[in-house]
């Protein structure tokens, strides 16, 4: 069995960083990354990008060395992806923030609306209903992150979490400020508008959850399998006949319902799934 020699160069400077001798031909890129980490511990596998060309695309972890267009002496180019953070941690951070921030406005903690309103309660039923719906949505997201979602990538760049959290946390604060404001006025059409919008919100939340479960079942645990989703016996999945990602359709519908219920314009900005 022939073995490969693998040299890893810095994609920017072309400096030789590592030389691996007698690499098995069936070795994967993931295994090569692990070998590279032994000589450069500061670059753990998740922050490594290995490619055949300095400006080319990153090779996949599951790519096999002998199936790549290289000779017995393979040259790979390394780029540092920066500090990484797990997707589970990212999602938990993104979703816990809006849940906590909204409750700060709902309970009217000091320094938000003025001292005379500290820890007071709104007299409008829709305000309390909105808090229940908002909390339910983000608690659902947190639980789905822990028990439903299966991620094809283990990590993402740490710097992205600040951008993502700014979006989620910022719009949650903007929306919560108006809905829980002491001068907030209920929807124009009263209880009928609230009930209709609440029904839209609940139906879309059930639909969103159903799609997430359907997508989860397409990917066995621990794999990166990608399958084409099809409708199941669950009526909420029949939307697959019309769109490829109905979870986003239901997510948009949920926040439209929430916006109608509260008559608050910033609410639809929370639609990211």
Residues 78 and 102 in one domain: no
H/E stretch holding 75 reads strand 73-80
CA separation for the pair 76, 32 (Å, rounded): 10
Widest CA span in the chain: 81
Residues 140 and 245 in one domain: yes
State mean pLDDT over 42-63.
Answer: 95
Query: With bands split at pLDDT 50, 70 and 90, how would you rate the model's confidence at 273?
Result: low
Residues 40 and 166 in one domain: no
Of 82, 112, 130, which residue sits at a domain end? 82
Strands 73-80 and 4-10: parallel
Query: With bands split at pLDDT 50, 70 and 90, how would you rate the model's confidence at 267?
Result: confident
Percent of the chain with pLDDT over 90: 85
Report the pLDDT value the prediction gives residue 1, as an integer from 0 to 100.
Answer: 60
The domain that contains 22 carries what CATH number?
Answer: 3.10.20.90
Residues 110 and 143 in one domain: yes
Report the pLDDT value the prediction gives residue 182, as an integer from 0 to 100.
Answer: 96
Angle in degrees, 0-180, between the axes of helices 159-179 and 87-106, rounded to the nearest 10: 20
State mean pLDDT over 114-143.
Answer: 97
CA separation for the pair 175, 268 (Å, rounded): 9
Query: With bands split at pLDDT 50, 70 and 90, how would you rate the model's confidence at 207?
Result: very high
CA dihedral in degrees (258, 262, 265, 267; nearest 10)? -40
Q: How many domains does the chain have?
A: 2
Residues 95 and 72 in one domain: no
Report the pLDDT value the prediction gives residue 228, as an integer from 0 to 100.
Answer: 87
Residues 23 and 97 in one domain: no
DSSP conformation class of 213: H
Report the pLDDT value the prediction gives residue 54, as an integer from 0 to 100.
Answer: 95
Q: What pTM value is reported for the model?
A: 0.87
Report the pLDDT value the prediction gives residue 17, as an integer from 0 to 100.
Answer: 97
* Contact yes or no for 79/11 (Cβ under 8 A): yes
- Domain of 239? 85-270
């Amino acid at each position: 069995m022939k073995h490969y020699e693998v040299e890893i160069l810095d994609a920017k400077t072309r400096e030789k960083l590592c030389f691996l001798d007698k690499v098995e031909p069936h070795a994967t890129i993931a295994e090569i990354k692990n070998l590279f980490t032994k000589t450069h511990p500061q670059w753990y596998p998740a922050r490594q990008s290995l490619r055949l060309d300095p400006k080319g695309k990153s090779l996949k972890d599951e790519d096999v060395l002998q199936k790549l267009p290289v000779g017995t002496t393979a040259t790979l180019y390394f780029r540092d992806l920066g500090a990484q953070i797990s997707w589970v941690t990212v999602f938990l951070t993104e979703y816990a923030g809006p849940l906590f921030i909204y409750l700060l406005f709902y309970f009217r903690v000091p320094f938000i609306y003025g001292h005379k309103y500290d820890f007071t309660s709104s007299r409008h039923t829709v305000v309390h209903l909105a808090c229940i719906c908002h909390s339910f949505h983000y608690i659902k997201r947190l639980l789905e992150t822990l028990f439903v979602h299966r991620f094809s990538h283990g990590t993402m760049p740490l710097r992205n979490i600040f951008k993502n959290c700014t979006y989620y946390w910022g719009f949650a604060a903007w929306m919560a400020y108006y809905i829980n404001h002491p001068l907030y006025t209920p929807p124009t059409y009263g209880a009928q508008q609230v009930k209709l919008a609440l029904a839209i919100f609940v139906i879309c939340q059930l639909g969103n959850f159903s799609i997430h479960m359907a997508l989860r079942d397409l990917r066995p645990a621990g794999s990166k399998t990608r399958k084409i989703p099809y409708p199941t016996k669950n009526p909420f999945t029949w939307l697959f006949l019309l769109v490829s990602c109905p979870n986003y359709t239901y997510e948009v519908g949920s926040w439209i319902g929430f916006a109608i219920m509260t008559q608050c314009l910033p609410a639809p900005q929370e639609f990211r799934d």
